[in-house]
Structures are given as C-alpha cells and as structure tokens.
C-alpha cells in the first residue's frame, strides 16, 4: 500500500530559523508507519502529489514582504485552493488562533475565509477552541526533549522573565509598566525577544528607560539564551491581552518554571492538568500587586513535583494527527 503523503504548510527547517513546534510535528508524523511528509514550497503545493494538505497559519500564505510578492502569493493561494478542490484533496487545519489576524486587507480576509470554507477537518489544541465540525482535539506537545541538551541556570531570587516574539497583543508594554509599579529593589525583570516592529521596539525601550532593574535583549535569542532567561527567572510572566494557545507557557513549564498568565478557561484547565504550583493567573490587566502576590505565593507553596505533561508527548500526538488525516481523506472520498 502506498504511504499517506502529507504536505505540511511550513517549509523545511533552516539552521537559522527553527520553530520547535513545526519541526517536532514534522519529524514525529514522518516516523509513523505508512506516512510520508512533504515540506511546503509553492512548486510542490501546486504540482506535487500528496493526499492531505495540513495548514497551520494560512495567513502566511497570503502575505509577503512587498506589495508585488503579496499579490503573487495571493494568486498562488487561489490556484492552490482550486487545485485542492479539483483533485478532492482535503485541507486539515490546526487552529492556532481563534480569530483572523488584525490589520489585514479585505483581499486577505476574503482569501482566508475561502480557505476556511474549504477546510475538511480542524485540529483543536485545547477543548475550548470553538471550531466547526468535524474536528480532532490534539494538545500542543511539550518541549522537554527539545531543550534537554541546554544547561539550565539557577533561579535568581526576585527575577521575572519574558521570552519570545514581542508583539502588541502579548502585552510586554503592560508587563514593564506593571513591573515599574513595584518598589522592591530586589526585584528584576528580563525581557528577551524580537519586536515585531521598530515602533514597538522603541516603545518597549522607552518604557524601560530609567529603571536599572530591567534588562532588555531585543533581538533574536538562541535556544540556549532562551533556556538561560527562563530558568534564571523565579516566574515567567505572559501578560497577553488574549491568550488561547501559548507555546511560551509550555516552554516555561517544560523547563520547570512557573508561569503567570491571564485568568481564563484555557489556563484554568492547564493549571489543573500540570498540578499545583505551576500556573498562576491574574484578572483583568496585569499590575504590580499581582506580580508581588504571585511571587509571595510561589515562595509560600512551591511545587512539590515537576509539571505533569504526560498528555503532551509527541509520539502520541503524531499518531493522533495521522488519524485526523485519514479521517479527512475518508470524508472527501465518502462525499463522492
């Protein structure tokens, strides 16, 4: 029997730019018997042979670094959707984000809605994700093995940490403002990551100016630097304006560091899953009182065991993905 060929919507990993989620998913799915994985390229997408197209962030397909490149990609996306419809190749989409991206054009919005209508099956990363049926629930895998080879740092008393891409909705400006509201000179804040715009970098730098307790590393941070930042912190703070799926939270938990996150159903479920002493939450907008109270609670009742991440092992996730692919293929064939 020929293998089930899956085209992933992400390109082959590069040495200078590796997303742990996509790399681990691609490798583990490819390790399942009877499955072959292709990485994305427009030539492969438009002319290659595959049985399933697995999309992750479809907005990337319709975007570009220049108006011309964006227009070409949008034309290619239309051609891809036509090819998938004609060949009755199912789209399986992992719903990383609940809403469409902000600030996109009407053409991009129309293409993404067309893409959504043509999707056969959706993969939810948590039970709270609202999606149309059919769907499959496959939790986001952990990163314990990914970071296992990097040395960890001893936690620095009073240090708060933030590591990852800096975008408006992630609330780094709010974090700095809340931290500056604290008065304890023994507290410190480390922020590491690449700002999405020069304006955001300037805003973050301006907010941090004048407080010697704040250290900013605004730029690309390697995995080793990320591990150092996270493990040297008493708590990792993620003051997102809206949080639904967070690789940053799983990164911290994979490195055995507690997180402070917005209070919502998703994070309450995560707290119950991983055990006491790992997930703390704040209501509304992060403020200095929430930071001080969380540090006090972490010190009063430290976690007695590592966070439980057994339900997020990658081999099991890969098998569940393959089952979703086969269900999508069956749905298309059954509709003929």
- As a whole number, mean pLDDT of residues 94-113 equals 84
Q: Where are the beta strands (DSSP E) in 229-324?
A: 235-237, 259-262, 279-282
pLDDT at 15: 62
CATH of 4-141+313-334, picked from 3.40.50.2000, 3.40.50.11540, 2.60.40.1510, 1.10.3720.10, is 3.40.50.2000
Rounded Cα distance, 118 and 310, in Å: 34
Nearest to 137 by CA among 331, 326, 321, 325: 321
Instruction: Give 18's pLDDT tier (boundaries 50, 70, 90).
Output: confident
Q: What is the pLDDT of residue 132?
A: 83
Read off the pLDDT of each residue in 211-224 and give the average, rounded to a whole number. 93
Same fold? 4-141+313-334, 159-310? yes
Averaged pLDDT for residues 61-76: 90
130 — pLDDT class (breaks 50, 70, 90): confident
Average pLDDT, the chain: 92
pLDDT of residue 39: 95
Report how far residue 185's alpha carbon sits from residue 198's, in angstroms, rounded to the nearest whole number: 30
Which CATH class for the 159-310 domain? alpha beta
Domain ranges of the chain: 4-141+313-334, 159-310
pLDDT-based confidence at residue 336 (cuts at 50, 70, 90): very low
Contacts of 209 (CB under 8 A, 6+ apart): none
What is the pLDDT at residue 174?
A: 95
Question: pTM score, two decimals?
Answer: 0.90
Confidence band (pLDDT; 50, 70, 90) for 16? low
Residues 5 and 90: their CA atoms lie apart, in Å, by 12
Report pLDDT for 133: 87
């Amino acid at each position: 029997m020929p293998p089930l060929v899956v085209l992933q919507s992400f390109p082959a990993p590069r040495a200078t730019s590796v997303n742990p989620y996509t790399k681990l998913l691609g490798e583990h799915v490819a390790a399942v018997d009877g499955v072959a994985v292709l990485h994305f390229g427009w030539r492969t997408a438009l002319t290659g042979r595959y049985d399933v197209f697995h999309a992750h962030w479809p907005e990337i397909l319709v975007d570009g670094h220049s108006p011309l490149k964006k227009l070409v990609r949008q034309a290619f996306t239309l051609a891809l959707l036509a090819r998938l419809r004609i060949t009755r190749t199912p789209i399986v989409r992992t719903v990383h984000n609940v809403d469409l991206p902000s600030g996109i054009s009407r053409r991009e919005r129309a293409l993404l809605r067309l893409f959504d209508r043509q999707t056969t099956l959706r993969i939810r990363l948590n039970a709270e994700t609202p999606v149309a049926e059919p769907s499959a629930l496959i939790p986001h895998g952990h990163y314990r093995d990914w970071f296992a080879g990097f040395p960890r740092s001893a936690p620095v008393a009073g240090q708060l940490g933030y590591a990852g891409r800096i975008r408006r909705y992630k609330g780094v400006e709010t974090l700095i403002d809340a931290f500056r509201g604290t008065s304890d000179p023994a507290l410190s804040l480390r922020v590491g990551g690449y700002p999405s715009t020069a304006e955001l970098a300037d805003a973050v730098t301006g907010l941090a100016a004048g407080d010697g307790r704040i250290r900013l590393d605004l730029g690309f941070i390697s995995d080793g630097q990320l591990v150092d930042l996270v493990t040297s912190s008493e708590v990792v703070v993620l003051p997102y304006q809206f949080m639904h799926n967070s690789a940053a939270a799983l990164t911290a938990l994979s490195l055995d560091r507690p997180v402070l996150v917005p209070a919502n159903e998703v994070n309450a479920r995560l707290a119950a899953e991983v055990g006491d002493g790992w997930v703390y939450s704040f209501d509304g907008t992060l403020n200095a009182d929430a930071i001080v109270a969380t540090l006090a609670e972490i010190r009063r009742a430290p976690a007695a065991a590592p966070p439980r991440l057994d339900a997020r092992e990658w081999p099991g996730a890969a098998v569940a993905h393959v089952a979703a692919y086969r269900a999508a293929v069956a749905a298309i064939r059954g509709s003929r």
